Chains A and B, each alone.
Chain A
């Protein structure tokens, strides 16, 4: 209780309240634009937070994250174009509702479900984080090495059409993270004699290029859709039958979100897909899903917002991001001088609990802001995309230039934007590359420390139950696709 009061007193400081409001507002505005997801939104806003106090900056970025997740559903419902990947499932029933003239109701249900899912996620985050933190206090390099490896393999293997492509992106991300001087040996790695590469590559231009610029190149030809209906406050009120039908799906969705949010490699997208599939299976008329069922919106929206909040559990408690968006959040924390992990809650409780409490405020703001502001977001979707995208490119250029007032970072954005675009056209997802970029230095550090502590004995890395179980799960994740291939081959024979 003391922690919650401490967090509230920190979160309610006017600067933090303002940052939360600005983050939620900007995140929703950016998330509404089709194709520009939470990752790009955070990358775009990150440079704006450099001049802020660390907690204020992180509160703003967290607001951007869940604001963008919420905003993404607006484009899903009105245009059948998901703003973020986790909102893609909302298109299935949201867009048919809009076609039936019930867009207002769909948007209202999205807001309520997001609030319920987010709130349940925050309760779970508040209860579980101290437990995981106390466990993590005993973690050494072996545990961290095994958990990071599990994260890599889970990202490569789970939900991928072609795990090989995800693996390539992790490896590429890992290699570019090694650019710069090695602090252990003083050896320069992959710097090509360039002084600007000695300190390594910064997260912001890499993320802005991979997610912001490449996304824009992809959407230049497809972003010109228009909204054909106006949304009034009266048209948003659900019927009594709608209310009756969304209650349990929201709770079940939040449950799936809380389950998948903290797990490595899953996150909001997998949570939303699973909760939709579960609702369809439980429905009396599953064939009606995809034709405008309110449960088809309520469950995945509650689910992805719960997952957004619970994804912070491993990020803040262990310093290990389960999802690419959390990887960028970890990068942002580090840029602000905050080292996430078990010591964060102990050494800086005001920061930890202030951030958690700001999630409550942000969720409440989402509810209070978005019902009256839905018509504003709808009008934003009416701005022709041919006007919008050149402006976003300028913001990306200025944002990357402002990191160190150098055009070198703008050049990096260009490089990663073009490479990201070319790879995406070939079906390579950019998110695993960011996971590789953020986690490889941590993996190497823990490998080196563990090797030193184990005096060169590899058995040290399986000496504890957590490390052993994590490595066992790594093996299982690697073996499962192989078993599938063997089964299919056997069936063919």
Chain B
């Protein structure tokens, strides 16, 4: 199933890019415009994606791949999103802590207490190195 979805999504991306590229301008005479290369690349992408889709449908795909592991994926993605959403509003230290805690939820081993102590220490080191040392214009706390 994941194979169909991947090749199908790639084909759709290619088709979208191809359709948009048709409007970029072709140039004239010996002057090549903005369209030819993206048209070529996206057109090839559609062809190869269709080829992959057909191979998957016929059961001839060499590598069937594996389904995503959702827990680490969601935790890590949430961690980065949380950092992006908070760093300019609540400061570097809380954004770092939020990011680390969200990422930590991606695994299932015990030892949360030790992690909290470690995360607090790491957030302080991050602030010292990046804000104080390298001049990153983000305060420790607050926007």
Chain A residues within 8 Å of B, Cβ to Cβ: 48, 51, 161-162, 164-165, 167-168, 171-172, 174-175, 178, 182, 184-185, 187, 189-190, 213, 216-218, 220-221, 224, 384, 386-387, 389-391, 393-394, 396-398, 401-402, 405, 407, 410-411, 413-414, 417-418, 421-423, 425-428, 440, 443-444, 447-448, 451-452, 454-456
Contacts and interface: CB of A to CB of B under 8 A. Distances in A.
Given A394-B122, A451-B30, A187 B100 contact: no
Contacts of A448: 31-32
A221 B107 contact: yes
A456 B137 contact: no
Contacts of A184: 33-34
A397 B99 contact: yes
B81 to A, nearest CB: 6
Interface in B1-29: 2-3, 6, 10, 13-14, 17, 20-21, 24-25, 27, 29
B118 A425 contact: no
B79 interface: yes
B71 to A, nearest CB: 8
18 contacts: A168-B52, A171-B45, A175-B41, A175-B45, A187-B24, A187-B33, A213-B76, A217-B72, A217-B76, A218-B72, A394-B100, A401-B138, A402-B130, A421-B68, A423-B6, A425-B66, A452-B30, A456-B30
Contacts of A440: 37, 41
A190 B111 contact: no
Give me the 4 closest cross-chain CB pairs, A-B, nearest first: A426-B65, A220-B72, A427-B63, A390-B103
B73 A217 contact: yes
A167 B48 contact: yes
Contacts of A418: 73, 77
A440 B37 CA distance: 9
A386 B72 CA distance: 11
B45 A168 contact: yes
A393 B99 contact: yes
Contacts, number: 188
A160 to B, nearest CB: 10
Interface string B57-85: 00000110111110011011101110111
Interface of B: 2-3, 6, 10, 13-14, 17, 20-21, 24-25, 27, 29-34, 37-38, 41-42, 44-45, 48-49, 51-52, 62-63, 65-69, 72-73, 75-77, 79-81, 83-85, 87-88, 92, 96, 99-101, 103-104, 106-107, 109, 111, 114-115, 118-119, 122, 126, 130, 134, 136-138
Contact of B65 (A168, A389, A427, A447): A427
Contact of B48 (A164, A185, A410): A164
Given A397-B84, A397-B99, A216 B76 contact: yes
B24 A189 contact: yes
A401 to B, nearest CB: 7
B84 A452 contact: no
A238 B51 CA distance: 53
A221 to B, nearest CB: 6
A404 B51 CA distance: 40
Given A389-B103, A390-B103, A390-B104, A175 B63 contact: no
Nearest to B81: A414
B21 A189 contact: yes
B103 A393 contact: yes
A224 B76 CA distance: 17
A390 B83 CA distance: 12
Given A187-B24, A386-B115, A390-B119, A397 B83 contact: yes
B106 A220 contact: yes
A413 B96 CA distance: 16
Contacts of B49: 168
A154 B25 CA distance: 31
B84 A407 contact: yes
The CB with the most chain A CB atoms within 10 A, among B27, B30, B42, B87, is that of B30
Contact of B100 (A48, A391, A407): A391
Nearest to B38: A178
A384 B111 contact: yes
Nearest to B17: A175
Given A410-B87, A421-B73, 18 more contacts: A165-B52, A168-B52, A171-B45, A189-B34, A190-B17, A220-B107, A221-B69, A386-B115, A387-B115, A389-B103, A394-B100, A398-B136, A401-B136, A402-B134, A426-B6, A440-B37, A448-B31, A456-B30
Contacts of B136: 398, 401-402, 405
A29 B52 CA distance: 39
Contacts of B96: 394
A34 to B, nearest CB: 15
Contact of B83 (A165, A394, A451): A394
A410 B83 contact: yes
B62 A162 contact: yes
Given A187-B25, A387-B115, A417-B80, A394 B87 contact: no
